[in-house]
Chain A
Amino acid sequence: MRVARQVGLYAALLAITAFVVVPIGFAVLGGFKDNGQLSVNPFGLPEPWNFANYAEIIASSAFWRPLLNSTIIAVATTLLLVGVAALAAFVFARFAFRGRELIFMLFAVGLMFPFAVAILPLFVLLRELGLLNNPLGVILPQAAFGLPVTIIVLRTFFRAIPGELEEAATLDGCGPLGFFWRILLPMARPALATVSVLAIVASWNSFMLPLVVFNDPSWWTIPLGVRQFQGQYGQDTARILAYVVLAMVPALAFYAVAERQLIGGLTSGAAKG
C-alpha cells in the first residue's frame, strides 16, 4: 500500500516536472539545432550538434551589452531603494511622533498602485526632466515604486530589535544616526539581503518602463534585447531559442545563489510567523 502511494506521488511529481522542464529543454536543445532539424525534430536530441547559434551570440555585443545594462540598472536601483527605505523604516520603527501612522499609511497604500497607472504621466514627466534615454529615468521610478514593500519589510524587522540595545547605545553616547549605522544596520543584514534580492529580481525583469524610456538601443536591458532579437531574426527560430536560453542563465544562476532570500522575502508576510 505504502509503495503504491509513493509511486503515485512520484508519477504526479514527474508529470509536473515535465510540464516545467519540457519548454525549457525545447529551447536549450533547439539552440543546438538548425531550423531544418527543428521543423522535423523539435523534441529529440540535435543531430548533428550545431554550436554556431550559441557561439555567435556569446561573441556578439547584442548579448553582453544588455547584460551589462541590466546589471548596472539593477544594482543602482537596489542601492538607492534599500538605502532610502532603510532610513525611512528606521524612523517608522523606532520613533513615536504625531503623524507617523498617517505617513506610513501613505507608503502602505502605494502597494496598491499598479505600475501601469503611472506609466503615461511618468513618461511625460521624464520627458520634461530630460531623463529619456538616460538610465536614471528607469532607476529613480523603479526605486520609488519599490519603497512600499521594502519599507514594510524593514520596519517589521527593525521593530523586533530590543529597546534595551538602543538604551545602552544611547547611554554610551550613541546618537540616533550612530545607533542606526553601527548597530541596527549590521544586525539587519538578513533583512537587507532579503529586500535587496527582491529589488534586484524586480529590476532585472522590469519591462514596461525601460520600453518607453529607452529609444536608444545602447541602454537596452535584457528583456528589451530579447524582444529586439526576436524581431530581428523573425524566422530564425533556432537562433532566437539560443538567445532566450542565454538570457535565462543569469536569472537562474542568481536564483540558485539567492533562493533562500528570495523565497523568504516573498513568503515573509504570507506566512504568519
Chain B
Amino acid sequence: MGVATLHSPAPPATDAPPRRRRRVPWLTIALFLLPALVLFSLLVLAPIGLASYTSLFKWNGYGGAPTDFVGLGNFVQALTSPIFLGDLGRHATLIALSLLVQLPLALAIAMVLNQKIRGRAFFRLLFFAPYVLSEVITAVLFSLFFSPNLGLANHLLGLVGLGELGQTWLADPKTVLYSLAFVMTWKYFGFHMILYLAGRQNIPNELMEAAAIDGGSPWQIFRYVTLPLLAPTIRISVFLSVLGTIELFDLVWVLTGGGPLHASETMAITMFESGFRRSQVGYASAISILMFVIALTFALLYQKFVMRRDLEGAMTGMRS
C-alpha cells in the first residue's frame, strides 16, 4: 500500500465536490468543527495572543494579571541587548552553514542515490535514520562524542595525524557554533536528501536521456536540466531549513545550554532563560513575539519573492 497523499492530484482549492442544491447543514458542520476549533483556539491562538499582551508588561508571571505596563519597553530592551542581537548573528551563521554545507551535501547524496546502484534502499534508510532520533538523544550523544577526554572526535583526529587540532569543541566559544552545525548536519541532512529524492522522482527520465543523446556531460545535464527542474523542491527545503533554525531549541539546550558565554545561544534559549530561569516573563514574551515576527516575515517575503506558488501541504515536515 503506497502513501495515497503522494499521488492524489490536489483539486483546486476553491471548489467543493459537486452536490445537489440543498440547505447548508449548519448543525453538522458546527458539531464536526467544534472540537478542533475549541482545542486550537484555547491552546494555540489564545497563548499566542496572551504572549503579545504580556510582552507589553513588566511581569514575573505570578500574582494574577500583569499590571506594570511598559509599552514597547521590552522590545526596545531586546533589540538593544547584546545577547539578543548576538542571537540574530548566530542564527545567520547557522543558516549560512545549513545552506552552504548541509543542503548541498544532501543534494549530492540524493543525486548519487538516484543512480541504479546496489544497496540504494539500504543507504537511503540509513541516512534518514538520524532524523528519527529526538534532538535530546542526539545532543546527549554528541556531548559525549565531543567530550575532550573520553570522546571520539579528538581521538579520530589523532588517528589521521591531526591530533594537534584536538579541541574542547563545545567548551570553546570559537568552535561551539561549528560543532553545533556539525550535529545539525548529521541529524537533518537525511531529511533534505529524502525531499530531493522525492522531487527527483517526479522528473521524467526522458529529459535527462534526451540531454545525454545531445551530448551533454553528466555535469552539464545536472546543471542545466536536473537542477532547474528540482528548483521547487530546493526552495521548499531551504524554507524548512531556515524556519527550523529560527526555532532551534532542544538540541542547543541539551548540548551546550547556549554557552559558553552565550556563544551558542539562540532566540528560543534566550526566551526560555529569561522566562523560566529569571522570571522575566514580560521580557521573554517580547523575545518570543520577535521570534514569531521574524519567522512570519521571512515566510511571507520568501513566498512572495521566491516561491510564488501555493505552499499548502508543503510544510508537513515543520521541524527540520
| Any A CB within 8 A of the CB of B117 | yes
| Any A CB within 8 A of the CB of B9 | yes
Docked-complex contact A111 and B276, CB < 8 angstroms: no
Q: Which residues of chain A are within 8 angstroms of B272 by Cβ–Cβ distance?
A: 116, 119, 208
Stretch touching chain B among A22-30, A45-53, A56-64 = A22-30
Docked-complex contact B144 and A27, CB < 8 angstroms: yes
A interface residues, tally (CB under 8 Å):
117
**Min CB–CB distance B232 → chain A (angstroms):** 7
Q: Mark B152-174, 1 if CB is under 8 A from A, else 0.
A: 10011001000000000000000
Please judge, given known A-B contacts A9-B112, A13-B123, A160-B11, whether A125 and B47 are in contact too, CB under 8 Å.
Answer: yes
Residues facing A in B127-147 (CB within 8 A) are: 127-130, 132-137, 140-145, 147
Docked-complex contact A9 and B115, CB < 8 angstroms: yes
Please judge, given known A-B contacts A16-B109, A124-B61, A268-B3, whether A113 and B48 are in contact too, CB under 8 Å.
Answer: yes
State the CA gap A152–B253 with chains docked (Å). 31
Q: Which residues of chain A are within 8 angstroms of B24 by Cβ–Cβ distance?
A: 95-98
State the CA gap A172–B51 with chains docked (Å). 51
Residues facing B in A240-255 (CB within 8 A) are: 240-241, 244, 247-248, 251-252, 254-255
Docked-complex contact B44 and A144, CB < 8 angstroms: yes
Closest to A44 in B: B155
Interface on chain A toward B: helix, strand, loop, or mixed SS? Answer: helix
| Any A CB within 8 A of the CB of B318 | yes
State the CA gap A265–B318 with chains docked (Å). 11
Q: Which residues of chain B are within 8 angstroms of A17 by Cβ–Cβ distance?
A: 123, 126-127
Docked-complex contact A120 and B8, CB < 8 angstroms: no
| Any B CB within 8 A of the CB of A91 | yes
Q: Which residues of chain A are within 8 angstroms of B276 by Cβ–Cβ distance?
A: 120, 123, 212
| Any A CB within 8 A of the CB of B176 | no
State the CA gap A226–B250 with chains docked (Å). 13
Docked-complex contact A9 and B284, CB < 8 angstroms: no
Q: Which residues of chain A are within 8 angstroms of B83 by Cβ–Cβ distance?
A: none
State the CA gap A85–B60 with chains docked (Å). 36
| Any A CB within 8 A of the CB of B213 | no
Docked-complex contact A269 and B43, CB < 8 angstroms: no
Residues facing A in B1-46 (CB within 8 A) are: 1-11, 13-14, 16-19, 24-26, 28-29, 32-33, 35-37, 39-40, 42-46
Q: Which residues of chain A are within 8 angstroms of B29 by Cβ–Cβ distance?
A: 91, 95, 97
Of the listed residues A30, A205, A267, the one surrounded by the most CB atoms of chain B closer than 10 A to its CB is A267
Please judge, given known A-B contacts A9-B117, A271-B198, whether A116 and B35 are in contact too, CB under 8 Å.
Answer: no
Closest to B233 in A: A270
Of the listed residues B16, B126, B159, the one surrounded by the most CB atoms of chain A closer than 10 A to its CB is B16
Q: Which residues of chain A are within 8 angstroms of B1 by Cβ–Cβ distance?
A: 190
Docked-complex contact B3 and A265, CB < 8 angstroms: yes
Docked-complex contact A251 and B32, CB < 8 angstroms: no
Set B2, B186, B254, B296: member contacting A264, Cβ < 8 A? B2
Set B2, B5, B150, B236: member contacting A35, Cβ < 8 A? B150
| Any A CB within 8 A of the CB of B313 | yes
Closest to B1 in A: A190
| Any A CB within 8 A of the CB of B256 | no
| Any A CB within 8 A of the CB of B175 | no
Residues facing A in B277-291 (CB within 8 A) are: 281, 284-285, 288-289, 291
| Any B CB within 8 A of the CB of A174 | no
**Min CB–CB distance A24 → chain B (angstroms):** 8
Q: Mark A78-104, 1 if CB is under 8 A from B, else 0.
A: 000001110110110011111001010
Docked-complex contact B48 and A118, CB < 8 angstroms: yes
Docked-complex contact A23 and B115, CB < 8 angstroms: no
| Any B CB within 8 A of the CB of A135 | no
Please judge, given known A-B contacts A12-B112, A205-B135, A226-B137, whether A20 and B316 are in contact too, CB under 8 Å.
Answer: no
Q: Which residues of chain A are within 8 angstroms of B117 by Cβ–Cβ distance?
A: 6, 9-10, 13
Top 8 closest pairs, chain A to chain B, by CB: A264-B3, A269-B313, A205-B134, A269-B314, A163-B17, A144-B43, A121-B50, A223-B136
A residues adjacent to B (C-beta < 8 A): 6, 9-10, 12-13, 16-17, 19-24, 26-27, 30, 35, 38-39, 42-43, 83-85, 87-88, 90-91, 94-98, 101, 103, 106-108, 110-125, 140-141, 143-145, 147, 149, 151-153, 156-157, 159-160, 162-163, 166, 176-177, 180, 188, 190-191, 194, 198, 201-202, 204-205, 207-208, 212, 222-224, 226-227, 230, 237, 240-241, 244, 247-248, 251-252, 254-255, 259-273
17 sampled A-B residue pairs with Cβ under 8 A: A10-B117, A16-B105, A20-B130, A22-B156, A27-B145, A35-B150, A43-B159, A88-B35, A94-B17, A114-B268, A115-B247, A116-B267, A120-B285, A223-B137, A241-B144, A251-B137, A264-B3
Given contacts A13-B119, A207-B254, 20 further A-B contacts (CB under 8 A): A9-B115, A17-B126, A20-B190, A27-B141, A87-B33, A88-B36, A95-B16, A95-B24, A116-B288, A120-B288, A121-B285, A125-B43, A153-B5, A153-B316, A160-B8, A160-B11, A227-B140, A237-B150, A244-B140, A251-B132
